[in-house]
Amino acid sequence: MNIKLVSYTDDAETVCALAGKLCYSPYGLEQIKKNLNQNKIGGFLKKIINSGHLSVIEHAAFSFMLEGISRACTHQLVRHRIASYSQKSQRYVDEKQLLYITPQTIKDNKELNSIYHEFMTHTQKIYEKMIAAGIPKEDARFVLPNAAETKIFVTMNGRELYHFFEKRLCLRAQWEIREVAEHMLEQVKQVAPNIFQKAGPACVNGPCPEGKLNCGEIKEMRQKYGANK
């Protein structure tokens, strides 16, 4: 898995702070900028995010390249609809050298791990036979598994990232997309720490939405994601 923050809004925290200040100020842009220095930005963003006024962080966008993840993972990812996606196409890119992801639970079972790899090898041979017979890639891909490795470029604004982290950093989220979310959060915190100061699973900033299905580790999750908030 390789998760890389490729691009983000220049001076994202200043942009979001300006947007927020505008909501509460009678002045125009230049006067707001004059009154807003770097020392004030962190405190203001903390105040406005704590108030739940998250629309202001929609003005910051963050773009990631995700590589070495499965189609099973991206099927979950694209359910986050307030985002832009560009994914490696199985219609145009052939899979004659099928790369695939193996879950650790399968790796840990020697017998099933062997069966799993045999299945993938057989799948690749069927795919190659179809391509050699003139079946178009867009039809031959029907035999490809959810495990097939893929690459996807994704752009989300700050508010949607908060929502993404709330859902996908939860311990009840599937392991692969949770790992993706961990890498994404780590990287956005490096470039916009004040924007993402409260980012984490939903239980960090309120009650667990899973109810009786909760993981039982709320205290540990709050310590992990909320210690400095």
Q: How far apart are the first and last CA of the chain?
A: 29
> Is 222 known to be catalytic?
no
Distance CA 204, CA 227 (A): 10
Among 71, 141, 159, 168, which one carries the catalytic annotation? 168
Q: What is d(CA 138, CA 136) in angstroms, rounded to the nearest whole number?
A: 5
Which two three-digit tokens encode residue 60? 């910051």
HEC profile of the chain = CEEEEEEECCCHHHHHHHHHHHHCCCCCHHHHHHHCCHHHHHHHHHHHHHCCCHHHHHHCEEEEEEEEEEHHHHHHHCCCCCCEEEECCCCCCCCCCCCECCCHHHHCCHHHHHHHHHHHHHHHHHHHHHHHCCCCHHHHHHHCCCCEEEEEEEEEEHHHHHHHHHHHCCCCCCHHHHHHHHHHHHHHHHHCCCCCCCCCCHHHCCCCCCHHHCCCCHHHHHHHHHCCC
The whole-angstrom separation of Cα 73 and Cα 189 is: 23
Residues labelled catalytic: 168
